[in-house]
Amino acid sequence: MASPNNMHVDQQPLPKNNAPRKLKPFQFRLRSLFIITVVLSVLLAVGRTIGSEVLEAVPSLAFVAAVFLGPLASVVLLADRLSLSSREGLEFGNWGKMMLVVFTGLHSGCMLMLATVAFEPVWKGEKGLHWGYYLLDAPAGYTLWPIYWAGVLSFIAAVLNPQYAMRSRINLVMVLTLAAISAWYTFAVVFMRFGEIIAAYIPGIVCVEYSLYAWLAVRHAEFTDWKSIPFFAWLFAWLTAVSAAIAVKIPLAMRFYEELPDQAPQGCFIVTAASCGHGWLVRSWRDDSGRIVNRQLLTFWRWEATFAAKAPGRHRALRAIYNRCAPLVARCIVFPWMADLLYLLLKPAEWFAAALNRLGERK
C-alpha cells in the first residue's frame, strides 16, 4: 500500500490557503442587465407609439433598444469592475469583451459617422446664422473620423489583449482622446443645437464609458518608463494630428456655411424626378402653382406631413439624410424612360404610404 508521502507531486492537493481563487464571473450580472434593459426598452417603445402609427412599434423598439441597451450595459460592466478588488484586473470574459467591443468601440464609431451625416443641415437658417454651429457637420465633421477610428481600434485591441492595455501608454492617450471627443459632441448637442437634447445621450454615455475604462487602465497599469523618447515622439505626433484636424475644421465649416442656400429646399427630389416620365404612365399635371405633380407625389407629401407632425425628431434626421442623398439620385434621371422605371419602382412604397394615410384618417 502506497504511503501518502509517496504520492506524485502532481497528485498532491494544494494547500487550502494557496488554492487559486475563482473570480466571480460577470455573466449573471450581464444577462440580468440584458433582460431588465430589454423589458424597459419594450415599455419605452410601447409608450412612444401610443397615439401614433401602429406600424411604428417595431422601428421604435429597435431605435430605443439600440440607443439605451448596449451603452448602458457597458457602463454598468465597467463600473462594476472598478468596484471590485484589484485582482479582477483588465481581463474580461467573453460577454464582457463582446459588450465593450460592440457597444463601446464599434457602436460609438458608427454613431459618430451617422450623426455627422444625419444631422447635416441643408440651408443656412437650420441651425444658426454663424459658421460655428457647423463645426461637426460634413465636411468639417469628417476630419475627426480617422483619429476617432484609430482610437477605437486601439481600444478594441486593448480589450482583447489585457497586457497591451496595462503596458501601452499610447492606448491610454488614445482612449482619453476618445473621451474628449465624445465630451465635445455632448457639449455641441446641448449648447450648439446639433440635434434634439436626447441626441446628447449617445456621446455623453460614450464619454463615461471611455473615462471609466481609462480609470480602470490607470489602476492596473504597469508602465515602466514614462520618459522614453519614442513615447514622447509618438505623443507629439498624435497631438499634432489632433490639433491639425481641429484647425482644418474651422475653414471647412466656414466654406460649408457659405455654400448653403439661404432658404430651405422643398419637395421630394426622387419622386419629383419620377413624375417627369411619359404622361400615359405617370399621369402628371400642373397644380395651381405651376408645379408638376401626380398622385404618387401627393401621396408621399401627405405621408411626410403626417410623419413630421407625429415624430418631428426622426423626421428631421431622415429628411437631412434624404436632402443630402436624393439630389444625387435625381440628377441621374435624364431620360423619360428612366423616370418611368423609377416611377414603377416607387409603386410599392406609394401603396404602403397610402395605407398609412388611410389608417391615419380612421384614427
**Lowest mean pLDDT segment, chosen from 117-121, 243-247, 285-289:** 117-121
- pLDDT value, residue 177: 95
Residue 31 within any structural domain of the chain:
no
Number of residues written out for the chain: 363
Position of cell 444625387? 328
Question: In which band, very low, low, confident or very high, does the pLDDT at 222 lie, cut at 50, 70 and 90?
Answer: confident
Domain boundary residue, one of 230, 259, 288: 259
What 51-60 contacts at long range (C-beta under 8 Å, 24+ apart), as own/partner pairs, is 51/310, 52/310, 52/311, 53/310, 53/356, 53/359, 53/360, 54/359, 55/356, 55/359, 56/311
Q: Is 208 a domain residue?
A: yes
Q: Is the pLDDT of residue 316 over 70?
A: yes
Calculate what percentage of the chain has a pLDDT beyond 90.
13
Alpha carbons within 13 A on the beta-carbon side of 172: 18
Structural domain includes residue 157: yes
Do both 255 and 276 map to the same domain?
Answer: no
The verdict on residue 9 lying in a domain is no
Same domain, yes or no: 118 and 255? yes
| Residue predicted with more confidence, 154 or 329 | 154
* pLDDT band (50, 70, 90) for residue 256: confident
Grid cell locating 193: 443645437
Cell of 59: 422601428
CA-based R_g, the chain, Å? 27
N- to C-terminal Cα separation, the chain? 89
Same domain for 168 and 211? Answer: yes
Give yes or no: residues 206 and 275 share one domain.
Answer: no
Same domain for 348 and 233, yes or no, is no
- Of 219, 216, 239, 218, nearest to 92 by C-alpha is 216
Structure letter (DSSP) for residue 91 = -
CA atoms within 13 A on the CB side of 235: 13
pLDDT at 1: 47
Q: What does the pLDDT read at residue 43?
A: 56
* Domain span at 329: 269-362
How confident is the model over 48-80, as pLDDT tens digits?
A: 444 344 444 455 555 666 666 778 778 878 887
Q: Residue 355 domain-assigned?
A: yes
Alpha-carbon span 346 to 286, nearest angstrom? 21
Count the domains in the chain.
2
The CA dihedral of 63, 64, 67, 68, to the nearest 10 degrees, is -160
Instruction: Return the axis-axis angle of helices 229-259 and 169-191, rounded to nearest 10°.
Output: 20
Q: Are residues 104 and 241 in the same domain?
A: yes
For 114-131, write each residue's pLDDT tens digit: 777 766 665 666 666 677
Asked whether residue 122 falls in the same domain as residue 176, the answer is yes
Beta strands in the chain (DSSP E): 285-286, 292-293
The last residue of one of the domains, among 259, 293, 316, is 259
Any domain includes 297:
yes
**Does residue 104 sit in the same domain as residue 211?**
yes
**121 and 250 in one domain?**
yes
**Based on the domain organization, do 253 and 132 belong to the same domain?**
yes
Distance CA 197, CA 175 (A): 25
- The predicted model scores a pTM of 0.62
| 328 has pLDDT over 90 | no
Angle of the 312-330 helix axis to the 107-118 helix axis, nearest 10: 70
What is the pLDDT at residue 36? 59
Final residue of a structural domain among 259, 278, 293: 259
Does any domain span residue 41? no
Residue 156 lies in a domain: yes
Q: Give yes or no: residues 302 and 325 share one domain.
A: yes
DSSP string, 277-290: S-HHHH--EE-TTS
Residues 189 and 332 in one domain: no
